[in-house]
Amino acid sequence: MPFLGYHGRSHPQSGGRGFAAITAALLTIAAVLLVPRPAAADTPWLTVSEDGYASFTVPVAAVEAAVGPVSQVVIEGNIGPSSAWAEFGLTRRGDVWSGVLGPLKPGLYSYRVTGDDTKGLKDPTNSTVVASDPIRSTFFVAGDAARPLADAPEGQGGTIDTLTYGAGSKALVWTPPGYTARKPYPVLFLQPGDGVSATDWLDLGRARQIFDNLTIRRAMEPMVVVISDGGAAVGEDLRKAVADRYRVHRDPAHQAIAGVAEGGARALRAALTRPSRYAYAGSFSGLLTEVKADDRQVKLVRLYTGNVTDPAYNATGRLTKALDRARVGYEFDGVNPDAGANWNAWQENLVDFVPRLFRKVRDHGPSAGHGRLKGEFTPPAPGTTPTPFVTKDGFVTFETTTDFQNAQNVKVWANWAPGGSWLRVPMTRAGDRWRVTVGPLDPWFYYYRLIVDRTSVKDVSNPTRVTTEPTWSTFLVAGERARMVTDVPAGRGGAVERLTYRSAVANEDRTALVWTPPGYDPERAEPYPVFYLQHGGGQNYTDWVEMGRAKQILDHHFLDGNLVPMVVVMGNGNVSDFNKELLENLAPAAREHYNISSDPSRQALAGLSMGGGQTFGMLKANPGQFAYVAAFSAGFGSGAGVDAKAINDGTRLLRLYVGDRTDFVYPSFMASLDTLNTLGIRYEFDGVTPGPHGWDVWQKNLIDLAPRLFKR
Express each pLDDT in 43-97 by its tens digit. Answer: 999 999 999 999 999 999 999 999 999 999 999 999 999 999 999 999 999 999 9
Decide if pLDDT at 701 tops 60. yes
Which residue among 420, 443, 478 closes a domain?
A: 478
Both 46 and 165 in one domain: the answer is no
- Whole-number CA gyration radius for the chain: 30
Name, in order, each residue with C-beta under 8 angstroms of 421's C-beta and a sequence gap of 6 or more: 88, 101, 415, 662, 691, 692, 694
CB 179 within 8 A of CB 158: yes
104 or 232: whose pLDDT is higher? 104
- pLDDT of residue 22 exceeding 50, the answer is no
Domain contains 369:
no
194 confidence band (pLDDT: 50, 70, 90): confident
Range with the lowest mean pLDDT among 262-266, 495-499, 595-599, 648-652?
262-266
Amino acid, single-letter form, for residue 386: P
Answer with the one of 478, 510, 536 that is the final residue of a domain.
Answer: 478
In a domain, 379, yes or no: no
- Decide: 248 and 255 in contact? Cβ < 8 Å: no
The predicted structure's pLDDT at residue 20: 33
* Calpha distance 57→60 (Å, rounded): 9
Question: Which pLDDT does position 234 carry in this prediction?
Answer: 83
Mean predicted confidence (pLDDT) in 120-125: 97
- Identify whether the C-beta of residue 400 lies closer than 8 Å to the C-beta of residue 435: yes
Question: What does DSSP say about strands 603-608 and 530-534: parallel, antiparallel, or unpaired?
Answer: parallel
Residue 17 lies in a domain: no
Check: pTM over 0.95? Answer yes or no.
no
Residues 408 and 455 in one domain: yes
Across residues 199-213, what is the average pLDDT? 97
Q: How far is CA 146 from the centre of its chain?
A: 18
pLDDT tier for residue 34 given thresholds of 50, 70 and 90: very low
User: What is residue 196's predicted lDDT score, i.e. its pLDDT?
Assistant: 83
Counting every residue written for the chain, the total comes to: 712
The Cα–Cα gap between 54 and 103 comes to 8
Last residue of one domain, picked from the residues 478, 510, 544: 478
State yes or no: pLDDT of 296 exceeds 90.
no
* The Cα angle at residue 300 between residues 298 and 301, in degrees rounded to 5: 95
Q: Is residue 352 part of a domain?
A: yes
Question: Within 10 Å of residue 609's Cβ, how many Cβ atoms?
Answer: 31
**Same domain, yes or no: 284 and 350:** yes
Asked, for residue 367, whether it belongs to a domain, the answer is no
Question: How many percent of the chain have pLDDT more than 70?
Answer: 93
Q: Are residues 396 and 334 in the same domain?
A: no
- Domain encompassing residue 81: 40-142
Q: What is the CATH number of the domain that holds 51?
A: 2.60.40.10
Assess whether pLDDT exceeds 60 at residue 690.
yes
Q: 580: closest CA among 628, 649, 510, 650?
A: 510
User: In degrees, to the nearest 5, what angle opens at C-alpha 673 toward C-alphas 654 and 537?
Assistant: 70
Total Cβ atoms within 10 A of residue 124: 13
Please tell me the predicted confidence (pLDDT) of residue 25.
33
Quick check: is 149 in a domain? no
In 53-145, alpha helices (H)? 60-67
* Cα 671 from chain centre: 28
Residues 247 and 278 in one domain: yes
pLDDT tops 90 at residue 224: yes
Judge if 497 and 468 occupy the same domain.
no
Which residue from 409, 412, 424 is spatially nearest to 449, judged by alpha carbons? Answer: 412
CATH number of the domain to which 547 belongs: 3.40.50.1820
* The one-letter amino acid at 540: N
Taking each helix axis from N to C terminus, what angle separates 343-353 and 207-216, rounded to the nearest 10 degrees? 30
Same domain as 491, residue 458: no
Mean pLDDT of 459-476: 96
pLDDT at 30: 33
Lowest mean pLDDT among 140-149, 232-241, 503-512: 232-241
- Is the pLDDT assigned to residue 41 strictly greater than 60? no
Whether residue 31 is contained in a domain is answered as: no
Q: Where are the beta strands (DSSP E) in 415-544?
A: 423-426, 428-430, 433-438, 444-452, 455-457, 473-477, 495-503, 508-516, 530-534
* pLDDT value, residue 308: 96
Percent of the chain with pLDDT over 90: 87
pLDDT tier, 542 (very low <50, low <70, confident <90, very high otherwise): very high
Kindly state the average pLDDT of the residues 12-35. Answer: 34
Smallest CA-to-CA distance from 120 within 40, 80, 63, 58 is with 63
Are residue 676 and residue 567 in the same domain, yes or no? yes
| 634/612 Cα distance (integer angstroms) | 5
Q: Taking the CB of residue 428, how many other CB atoms lie within 10 A of it?
A: 9
Q: How many domains does the chain have?
A: 4
CA atoms within 13 Å, Cβ hemisphere of 538: 18
Mean pLDDT calculated for residue range 169-194: 94
Residue 36 has pLDDT above 60, yes or no: no
Residues 472 and 345 in one domain: no
**How far does Cα 374 stand from its chain's mean position?**
25
Q: Give strand ranges (E) for 278-395.
A: 280-284, 300-305, 331-335, 389-390
Residues 295-301: contacts with CB within 8 Å, 24+ apart?
A: 295/271, 296/326, 296/327, 296/328, 296/329, 298/271, 298/272, 298/328, 299/253, 300/331, 300/356, 300/357, 301/268, 301/271, 301/272, 301/328, 301/329, 301/330, 301/331
The verdict on 338 and 251 lying in the same domain is: yes
pLDDT in tens, 376-419: 999 888 888 788 999 999 999 999 999 999 999 999 999 999 99
> Does one domain contain both 512 and 661?
yes
Kindly state whether residue 382 falls inside one of the protein's structural domains.
no
- The answer on 331 and 184 residing in a single domain is yes
Nearest-10 Cα torsion for 695, 700, 701, 704:
160
Distances (CA, A) of 549 to 102, 214, 421, 443, 703: 24, 49, 18, 14, 10
